[in-house]
Structure 1
Amino acid sequence: MNALHQYLFDTYRADRLGEPLPPAPGTHDLAVLRSVRDRRRFERVLAGRPARGALLTALRRRLRPRSC
């Protein structure tokens, strides 16, 4: 059973019981991703690191040619 099947079952059950319908799958995905991003930025600030640019800094460090 995938998420769509579960959603259809939940919708049917909610309709029969007179409860509010559940949100469709994927409705809140962007909000969850934004909250994860904001939490990680907040934790970086608390640790004394820059809140932005961590990904680019890590990529530059990994891709920088090593000098012999």
Structure 2
Amino acid sequence: MSENTVLKIVKGDPTPEELAALIAVVAARAAVPAAEPESGRASNWATYWRNARTPFHPGPGQWRASAHP
């Protein structure tokens, strides 16, 4: 195996057509630029908990207050 080997078939015996299809897919995937990371803004799912409900404040008589928002 040479030093420039990028792809190695380790099992099976692909036809030339199958091998060409595999190389085309790998080359197309390599040509796609990497996705840029999103801005530092948190997604709506990450901030959902803030709007879901107010936190509990345990203490005497708080079970009565929990029924009235």
Structure 1 length as normaliser, TM-score? 0.26
Whichever of the two has the greater Rg, that structure is: 2
Structure 2 length as normaliser, TM-score? 0.26
Question: Higher relative CO (CA 8 A, sep ≥ 6), structure 1 or 2?
Answer: 1
